[in-house]
Chain A
Amino acid sequence: MKSIRFQLLGWLLPGFVVVCVVAIMGVYFSAKQANDADLDARLGRFAGSARLALRNQANAGTGGARTPGLRAFLAKEDFQSPGQYFELWTSDGVLERRSPNLGNADLPRPPELARDAIRYDGTLENGEQVRLSAMQYPQGGGSPPLAFAVALSRSEGEARLSRLLTDLVIGGVVCCAVLCLLLVLALRFALRPLARVGEQAVAMGAASLHERFAMEAMPLEIAPIVTRLNDLMARLEQGFERERRFSGYLAHELRTPLAAIRATSEVAAKWPDQSSPEDFHEIAQAAARLQHTVDSLLVLSRLETASSDVTSETVVLGPLVEECVALHMERAKQHDLRFDLRLDSSPTLETDPCLLRIIITNLIANATEYAPPGSEIVIAATGDDPFLRVGNLAPDLTPEDIPRLFDRLWRKDTTRTDATHAGLGLSIANSCAVARGFTLTAKLDDGGVLQMSLHREK
């Protein structure tokens, strides 16, 4: 598995080393160039001194008074010890004079000479590296020109460069080590929020879905991810909560009639003299209620898993609504409810008539069940969107209940005492709507009217 930290370290550490090596080399070669330039400058001055000494010597030779010329030049203390060297020879290559510190050794001579100085590197017989400057020195009076060379030892400069190189290498290694340490610490610090998110995510389970990732001190780069994670957690928690509620409702809806059946039959078996036909009637009623709940759940399950099986044909909305209303007319009369049908002239739509009938039936059943006695149920079918609206007073509902209306087995009565409903009607209507691509929405207005609207597929 890839690690961001190791990937960054893998790239940055060699990068630091390369940068340090390049920097060291840059500094070293720059210092070397400066050293060579300094050596050449000194060599130029040295050659100038030698030329002056030769000129003085020539003047002395022609009767001038300016001596000591070469003797004085070569008597300098600089020529007593290694470091500076001088040699003079004729155009035939015959040695004329040389500095005493050369002993019997010659300075390396260039293959050709000119009046302008030629600079080159050479090695003395004792192995000493030197920088040389050689030139011709013209003599007056038709005499052939002389040639001379001056040399400066490189050893002092080389030693300085060597020390510099050692210092640079040590400095570079220390710099690399410090940079690496800083890099490791910086990565650890910078990636700490990510590590915390990872640890928290690993520790999360079904029991800790209420927890959220802390957004404080979260880096900008991770904040959108963490925000999305928190949104997902919230949705997951709501989903778990919905499933938990559903499990609780289901347990009640299935276990209570089961318990009644079991208790009634066991009591009838144990105390047969106390049993009556009414007991068996109650067993049958509880079993019927159980079957209704199980059948409804199966319908829901089939709707949710086989939504592609729907058929499509042209359905005239008005007659279908009237047919569904007729099914609930008796119950409406029992509850003293009135229907206000607002059906446009024959709006039609392409849909599955069976699914649409289930939706309309469940919406009307819900309205007749929960509308207060004496109130009115308004049903409107139009060619617009929404194409179907069912409105009724719902004094017991609060706006907080609306998002739960379509939850399976949800009932406003949390005690679920009324055994005639399981709380699946609106869930089935919603699943039918989804299966056909419709959208079923619920809205509670300020007047306490619950408006269920069925929208066309988009």
Chain B
Amino acid sequence: MRILLVEDSAPLRKPVVKALRASGYAVDATGDGAEGWLMAQDHDYDVIILDIMLPGMDGREILRRIRAAGNETPVLFLTAKDAIEDRVAGLRLGADDYLTKSFAIEELLARVEVLGRRKYARRSPLLVVGDLELDQAAKSVRRGGRDINLTPQLFALLEYLLLRKGQVVSRTEIEEHIYDEMVSPMSNVVDTAVCALRRAITISDQSTPIIHTRRGMGYVIPESR
């Protein structure tokens, strides 16, 4: 999943980005409100984390514009303003959640995870296909009763494909959601990652292939599995 973080305090932005990336999210971050609004327009983020007091453009204004543009991406307000009226105003503007500074990084990650599930209309953190289970909360993958260790990026790729189960997911979409702006659009990083993921989730010669290639279109995990 790809996250946009707009937070003007660099000392705070840095560890939050690090934590999100370590949890397998692709993260774009900026400290400027106007730039954040441009990024929200350019990419289809799974979750947007917004500070309220921002240079360039106020976080509330960014949210107002996002909603006015018909963008339903879940938004989490991350701010020092803890007054009831600030929370109510933020939620009424269309924010999905509100977290007051300072916060436990685990709480932020849990809230981001919940908001990510909400985007795909899911309540359970468990994604299942055939004998493979992915637990979004525990960040664990099991197949045939055996634990599989995945890197954060492969975990995010599998999670995204499972969330889009039954749909063909293009390479561009994978790039959009799994990789941040640092990845070159010309690279074959997606194909390499899918190949690595296939190897990782194949636990024996009898393991049924889960990820299928649709030539010229992308990858799919069939619904029937």
Check if A and B associate: yes
Across the interface, B11 reaches (CB within 8 A) one of A260, A271, A414, namely: A260
- Is B8 part of the binding interface, using a Cβ–Cβ cutoff of 8 Å? yes
Q: Report whether B14 and A259 are in contact in the complex, using a CB–CB cutoff of 8 Å.
A: no
User: What separation, in Å, do the CA atoms of A248 and B89 have in the docked complex?
Assistant: 15
- Is A285 part of the binding interface, using a Cβ–Cβ cutoff of 8 Å? yes
Q: Report whether B22 and A259 are in contact in the complex, using a CB–CB cutoff of 8 Å.
A: no
User: What separation, in Å, do the CA atoms of A86 and B14 have in the docked complex?
Assistant: 133
* Total inter-chain residue pairs, C-beta < 8 Å: 92
Q: Report whether B18 and A267 are in contact in the complex, using a CB–CB cutoff of 8 Å.
A: yes
User: What separation, in Å, do the CA atoms of A251 and B82 have in the docked complex?
Assistant: 8
Q: Which B residues, 93 to 135, have Cβ-Cβ distances below 8 Å to chain A? A: 100-106, 108
Would A260 and B53 be within 8 Å (CB), given that A266-B105, A415-B8, A417-B31 are in contact? no
Q: Which 8 A-B pairs have the closest CB atoms?
A: A259-B102, A260-B11, A259-B101, A263-B15, A255-B80, A255-B101, A260-B12, A252-B80
Residues of A close to B108: CB separation below 8 A:
263
Residues of B close to A254: CB separation below 8 A:
80
User: What separation, in Å, do the CA atoms of A259 and B102 have in the docked complex?
Assistant: 4
- Is A419 part of the binding interface, using a Cβ–Cβ cutoff of 8 Å? yes
Name, among B8, B101, B103, the residue most crowded by chain A CB atoms within 10 Å (CB to CB): B101
Residues of B close to A258: CB separation below 8 A:
101-102
- Is A80 part of the binding interface, using a Cβ–Cβ cutoff of 8 Å? no
Q: Which A residues, 238 to 277, have Cβ-Cβ distances below 8 Å to chain B? A: 247-248, 251-252, 254-264, 266-268, 270-271, 274
**1/0 per position for B18-39, CB-CB distance to A under 8 A?**
1100100000000101000000
Distance from B122 Cβ to chain A, minimum over Cβ atoms (Å)? 25
Would A262 and B103 be within 8 Å (CB), given that A267-B22, A415-B55 are in contact? yes
- Is B16 part of the binding interface, using a Cβ–Cβ cutoff of 8 Å? yes
- Is B151 part of the binding interface, using a Cβ–Cβ cutoff of 8 Å? no
Q: Report whether B55 and A413 are in contact in the complex, using a CB–CB cutoff of 8 Å.
A: yes
Across the interface, A419 reaches (CB within 8 A) one of B11, B18, B33, B58, namely: B11
- Is B54 part of the binding interface, using a Cβ–Cβ cutoff of 8 Å? yes
Residues of B close to A251: CB separation below 8 A:
80-82
Interface size of B as a range: 20 to 34
Q: Considering the complex, give the chain B residue whose CB is closest to the CB of A286.
A: B11
Q: Report whether B82 and A274 are in contact in the complex, using a CB–CB cutoff of 8 Å.
A: no
- Is B188 part of the binding interface, using a Cβ–Cβ cutoff of 8 Å? no
Distance from B202 Cβ to chain A, minimum over Cβ atoms (Å)? 28
Residues of B within 8 A of A (CB): 8-9, 11-12, 14-16, 18-19, 22, 31, 33, 53-55, 58, 80-83, 100-106, 108
Q: Report whether B15 and A414 are in contact in the complex, using a CB–CB cutoff of 8 Å.
A: no
User: What separation, in Å, do the CA atoms of A415 and B33 have in the docked complex?
Assistant: 10
Residues of A close to B33: CB separation below 8 A:
415
Kindly list 19 other residue pairs between chains A and B, CB separation below 8 angstroms, not including A259-B12, A259-B80, A415-B54. A247-B83, A255-B100, A256-B12, A257-B9, A262-B105, A263-B15, A263-B105, A267-B19, A268-B15, A270-B19, A270-B106, A271-B18, A271-B22, A282-B14, A415-B8, A415-B58, A417-B31, A417-B55, A419-B11
Distance from B52 Cβ to chain A, minimum over Cβ atoms (Å)? 9
User: What separation, in Å, do the CA atoms of A417 and B13 have in the docked complex?
Assistant: 12
Residues of A within 8 A of B (CB): 247-248, 251-252, 254-264, 266-268, 270-271, 274, 279, 282, 285-286, 413-417, 419
Name, among A256, A270, A416, the residue most crowded by chain B CB atoms within 10 Å (CB to CB): A256
User: What separation, in Å, do the CA atoms of A274 and B108 have in the docked complex?
Assistant: 19
Would A256 and B80 be within 8 Å (CB), given that A271-B22, A286-B11 are in contact? yes
Q: Report whether B22 and A414 are in contact in the complex, using a CB–CB cutoff of 8 Å.
A: no
Distance from A191 Cβ to chain B, minimum over Cβ atoms (Å)? 37
Q: Report whether B102 and A262 are in contact in the complex, using a CB–CB cutoff of 8 Å.
A: yes
Distance from A208 Cβ to chain B, minimum over Cβ atoms (Å)? 14
Q: Considering the complex, give the chain A residue whose CB is closest to the CB of B18.
A: A267
Q: What are 13 contact pairs spanning A and B, CB under 8 A?
A: A252-B53, A255-B100, A259-B103, A264-B14, A267-B18, A267-B19, A267-B105, A270-B105, A274-B18, A413-B55, A415-B53, A417-B8, A417-B53
Residues of A close to B82: CB separation below 8 A:
251, 255
Would A416 and B53 be within 8 Å (CB), given that A251-B82, A263-B16, A286-B11 are in contact? yes
Would A262 and B104 be within 8 Å (CB), given that A413-B55, A417-B55 are in contact? yes
Residues of B close to A282: CB separation below 8 A:
11, 14
Would A255 and B8 be within 8 Å (CB), given that A263-B15, A415-B53 are in contact? no
